[in-house]
Amino acid sequence: MRPTVRSGSRPRDQKGTLMRLISYLGESKTLLFFVVLASIASTLAGLYGAYSISPLITTIEHGIKGILSREAMFSELFARLSFLAVIFVLEVLTTLFSERTMVKISQRTVRKLRADMFDNMLKMEVGYHDTNTHGDLMSRFTNDIDLVGEGLNTAAASIIINIFTLAGTIVVMFYLSPTLSLVTITLLPLLSLMARWIVKRSRIYSRRQQRSLGKLNGYIEEAMEGQMVMQLFNHEEDATEEFNNLNQDYRKNSQKAQITSIMMFPLMQNMNTINYAIIGIVGGFLAINYGMSIGDLGAYVNMTRTQGRPINQISNQFTALQSALASAERIFELIDWKLEEINEDDLILDSVIGDVKFNNVTFSYVKGQIVLNDISLYAKPGQKIAIVGSTGAGKTTITNLISRFYEIDKGEILVDDIDIKTINRLNLRSHIAMVLQDTNLFTGTIMENIRYGNLNATDEECVEAAKLSNAHYFISHLKHGYDTHISGVGDDLSEGQKQLLNIARAAVANPSILILDEATSSIDTRTERLVEAGMDSIMEGRTTFVIAHRLSTVRNADAIIVLEHGEIIERGSHDALLEMNGRYASLYHGQSELS
């Protein structure tokens, strides 16, 4: 029994997310300093380029009026235009430098974010995977991290440059004409209100877009993994309908986010055009009646266009930054998930005998929904304990609690008479090995997959583990033997062969406590005998917990525990339980009749 998947996500503090994202730029402080310097240089160069029309027009005006000779006018124009060309080259070079450097900074930041995400994913409580689909998790590693990278690559650099440009433009405009500047400033609040409204809507839709994309990816992953089941039960149409609903939801949210984003530019552009026209009219009036020079008027009108450009760019890039922040929220949600507690004062056990006790243990995945109720059991060193019962009775939960993947609500679990709450989790698990129903292999060689149980194991120890688990025979008959390269799903191996590799991996770990969870449920009877022989070899001398639906596989257990609805209802040997003629006898005889 597991909790259901949560839908949606709680609202996050936008300012806090932004500040936290900025904190990740900390390791690039020096580069950021140079980006700021280059941005300032680029801004000053751009401002001079916009202002330079004033002295150029004034020089031409003086030439026309005879104040300057034609030769002096052309000479001065050539000098000013040459200097202006140098300024434009400087602007291009500094802009290129700041943008390239910002790309480097953003990729460093994304690398750090991705590393923190992966590190936390490996160390977070198992409950995260119970309540979140793997598709949504992958979406945070791919789509969300890409959006953050793009936001830092383009939006951040552009916003930095354009903020400097806007501030410098306003200063120069006040220098040219305080009167016209006051007219311009009166229009800025309207532009600001429009931008604020659009940004707010964009933030909402961007968050919804990423959330719906995570759900869509999660469903696609489930459909890919369960394709054969869908086809077997003819659920293609139902699956397609569900996919279409999720796809439509993502389309709507994506459409709203993008429409809101593209609204910014035309609205701001039209407002700037109106502003440009008003400045032209008022400026002409000042030039005619109050002696404003034609050069200053031309420069101011040009600055008005310059002033509109950074506002447009900031507004446009701010929408991209909002998408990046919406993705950063989801990334930080993963990073902030509670990690497994590792305390400095936790005990480190050099060796474990394998004495395991459950004393009045009560556990629930979700508060109020009890899975195990007042469980008490024991396993003496070297004993084989079988746990049987109906599906959902809590069998796998017991083995997960031994490995301390979850914390219990009440009672205590002891290993060698030590409460596992006081033992370092990693150290505890180093004395435990598990063979599960799902054959989890990794892309690499067969030797590397076996060594995964003990990274310090030599090749000889891995071969001995393979022999012990009965895997050596089929491995030695492969073309490349132990150097055979397999994919993570082991496409070229049968289920039985993959399970033998899992057993070899457990054997090379040389554990004191061994857990076998439905290890033979997905293989045929003939292969099961081979796998059981391998398991019998590694169980010898180790405390072993076996969960099995096929009761014929647990007849030789030292004790069989019958679990129903989270409570132990019977315990004893195979023969003793049959004599009791209770639940175990009913299950066993029922399977015997079917076989």
Q: What number of other Cβ atoms are within 10 A of residue 469's Cβ?
A: 27
Instruction: Name the band, by pLDDT with cuts 50, 70 and 90, for residue 520.
Output: low
Are both 284 and 243 inside the same structural domain?
A: yes
Contact 36, 160 (CB under 8 A): yes
Q: Is the pLDDT of residue 372 over 60?
A: yes
Q: Are residues 366 and 320 in the same domain?
A: no
| Predicted confidence band of residue 521 (pLDDT cuts 50, 70, 90) | low
Residue 454's domain is classified under what CATH number? 3.40.50.300
Neighbours of 572 (CB within 10 A): 16
| Residue 555 forms part of a structural domain | yes
Instruction: Answer yes or no: do 232 and 374 share one domain.
Output: no
With a cut of 90, say whether residue 493 has pLDDT above it.
Answer: no
Residue of 307 and 184 predicted with greater confidence: 184
User: Do 304 and 220 share a structural domain?
Assistant: yes
Q: How far apart are CA 306 and CA 48, in angstroms?
A: 11
Same domain, 457 and 367: no
Q: At residue 363, does pLDDT exceed 70? A: yes
Q: Is residue 376 part of a domain?
A: yes
d(CA 48, CA 293): 18
Both 139 and 101 in a single domain? yes
| 418 part of a folded domain | yes
Same domain, 427 and 475: no
The CATH number covering residue 74 comes to: 1.20.1560.10
Please check the confidence at residue 43 and state whether its pLDDT lies above 60. Answer: yes
Whether residue 69 is contained in a domain is answered as yes
Task: Round the average pLDDT of the chain to a whole number and report it.
Answer: 82
Shared-domain flag, residues 442 and 535: no
In this prediction, residue 312 carries a pLDDT of: 66
> Higher pLDDT residue, 550 or 486?
486
DSSP H stretches of helix in 452-560? 459-468, 472-476, 495-508, 525-539
CA distance to 288, 292, 297, 566, per residue, from 179 (Å): 15, 11, 12, 81
Tell me what pLDDT residue 483 has: 93
When pLDDT is cut at 50, 70 and 90, the band that residue 216 belongs to is: confident
Residue 535 lies in a domain: yes
Q: Looking at the domain assignment, is residue 516 inside a domain? A: no
> What mean pLDDT do residues 127-139 have?
77
Of 510, 539, 565, the one marking the end of a domain is 510
Higher pLDDT, 550 or 325: 325
Quickly state the pLDDT bin for 9 (edges 50, 70, 90). Answer: very low
Task: Tell whether 497 is covered by a domain.
Answer: yes
**Same domain (yes/no): 491, 556:** no
pLDDT digits (tens, 9 = 90+) for 379-406: 999 999 999 888 788 888 998 899 998 9
Question: DSSP string of 106-154?
Answer: HHHHHHHHHHHHHHHHHHB-THHHHHS-HHHHHHIIIIIHHHHHHIIII
In the prediction, which pLDDT does 463 show? 93
- CA–CA gap between residue 424 and residue 404 (Å, rounded): 10
User: First-to-last CA distance in the chain?
Assistant: 28
Least confident of 2-6, 250-254, 441-445: 2-6
Is the pLDDT at 547 greater than 60? The verdict is yes
pLDDT in tens, 152-167: 877 766 777 778 877 8
Choose one of 335, 353, 386: the last residue of a domain: 335
User: Is it the case that residue 265 has pLDDT exceeding 70?
Assistant: no
| 3-state helix, strand and coil shares in percent for the chain, rounded to the nearest 5 | 65, 10, 25
Choose the weakest-confidence range: 133-147, 264-278, 317-331, 342-356: 264-278
Q: Are residues 302 and 278 in the same domain?
A: yes
What does R_g of the chain's alpha carbons equal in angstroms?
Answer: 35
**What's the structural domain count of the chain?**
3
Judgement on whether residues 484 and 541 belong to the same structural domain of the protein: no
Distances (CA, A) of 396 to 134, 237, 447, 570: 21, 34, 29, 17
pTM confidence score = 0.66
Which of the listed residues 281, 301, 335 is the one where a domain comes to its end? 335
Please tell me whether residue 155 adopts helix, strand or coil conformation.
helix
Whether residue 593 is predicted with pLDDT greater than 90 in this model: the reply is no
User: pLDDT digit string (tens) for 294-311?
Assistant: 777 777 777 776 666 676
In a shared domain, residues 146 and 177 = yes
Q: What confidence score (pLDDT) does residue 6 get? A: 35
DSSP state of 436: -
Q: What's residue 39's pLDDT?
A: 85
Tell me the average pLDDT across 430-439: 84
Looking at residues 209-227, what average pLDDT do you find?
Answer: 80
The three-state secondary structure class of 277 is helix
**484 is in which domain, residue-wise?**
436-510
- Residue for token digits 């990274």? 455
Asked if the structure places residue 519 within a domain, the reply is no
Across residues 79-93, what is the average pLDDT? 90
Quick check: 524 pLDDT over 80? Answer: no
Q: Kindly compute the dihedral angle of the four CA atoms of residues 18, 23, 24, 26, in this order, to the nearest 10 degrees.
A: 140
Report the percent of the chain where pLDDT is more than 70: 88
